[in-house]
Amino acid sequence: MSARVLIVDDSGFFRRRLSAIITSDPHITVVGTASNGQEAIEQVKLLKPDVITMDIEMPVMDGISATRHIMSECPTPILMLSTWTTQGAKSTLEALDAGAVDYMPKRFEEISNDVNSAHQQLCQRLHNLAKKTKPQRIVSSPVLKPAVKRPRPHITQRKTPNGLRLVVIGTSTGGPVALQKVLTQLPANFPYPILVVQHMPATFTPSFADRLNTQCKIKVKHAENSDSLSAGTAYIAPGGMQMLLKGNARSPHIEIQASQSTQTYKPCVDITLESVASVYPKETLAIILTGMGADGKIGCQQLHKLGSTIWAQDEKSSTIYGMPMAIAKAGFADGIFDLNDISHHLAEFS
């Protein structure tokens, strides 16, 4: 069955171009278009698409406002098409807060130098979002409340790692909102450093780190080469680069390396976790949150064998149950939690 797409953009030329690209895939159908956010809201009610592509800057009603309305009235997976500039990053992060689940560059050449490859990636992303995303109704802009205590779920082996020294969080699609939910619940005196690997372009990660830093009680910073690890600080891996942990258990530090052209993810969760394994083989808590694919599986396998602890987000609370599913199915997860419970259990470590 074809994925049904609604295209929202104020440019008639871009709507036609995007429609031609999407309809070249036999598994996707364009069911309608809209030239502004208000039209989009009306078309969603009428057509009930499986997924929406959404521009940000539009007349009558912008894409962020439209996303907020759609997610409160008729939750539908929304892919934001954004300019990969600093301002574009800020607007895209606002759209994700409003309920959009993913984003891609509006200039497809920024995806790949190969035009056909870029078009294939766009279509694949739309298909995955249409079939695998679990959109949630958002009544208004997310207001983050303290996590509510719940009955603790079954834990395969152990919940609290012995001798914990470091927390590493890896995520992709749905990650910006999930990370916001987790990190904002941590107290200022959280006793461990946190390495965060979020699949995100280079122009986005500085704004993402700054945004989280204003929202969290802990310190959040864009990771830099030679950063020493400090308790109560989250280090966001720079987009387009790789973040590694170097040194030894007494004096660990971050090393930022250029990515290789052969590497799929930039930054990559596996690369960070494999470097962590040589410094804190038994003293790491690795947490894999929502995301497409299986990045993090290899690194978690290595850490699990060495005695570290692995947590995975559960299917119900994941936007895309890909990365955490890979961990759970492989048997590496010591705990599988709802996102709210992950926040709660981490806060308990203080």
Catalytic residue among 35, 172, 259, 275: 172
- Partners of 242 in the beta sheet? 257
Collect all residues with Cβ–Cβ distance below 8 Å to 113 and sequence separation of at least 6. Answer: none
Six-digit token string for 249: 């258990």
The catalytic residue among 69, 119, 127, 199 is: 199
199 flagged as catalytic: yes
- Long-range CB pairs of 343-348, under 8 A, 24+ apart, other chains included: 343/147, 343/181, 343/182, 343/185, 343/186, 344/147, 344/148, 344/149, 344/150, 344/185, 345/159, 346/167, 346/182, 346/185, 346/186, 346/190, 347/147, 347/185, 347/186, 347/187, 347/190
- The active-site residue, picked from 97, 295, 334, 341, is 295
- Taking alpha carbons only, the member of 26, 167, 7 closest to residue 81 is 7
Cβ atoms of 116 and 161 within 8 Å: the answer is: no
Residue 334 is a catalytic residue? no
Catalytic positions are 172, 199, 295
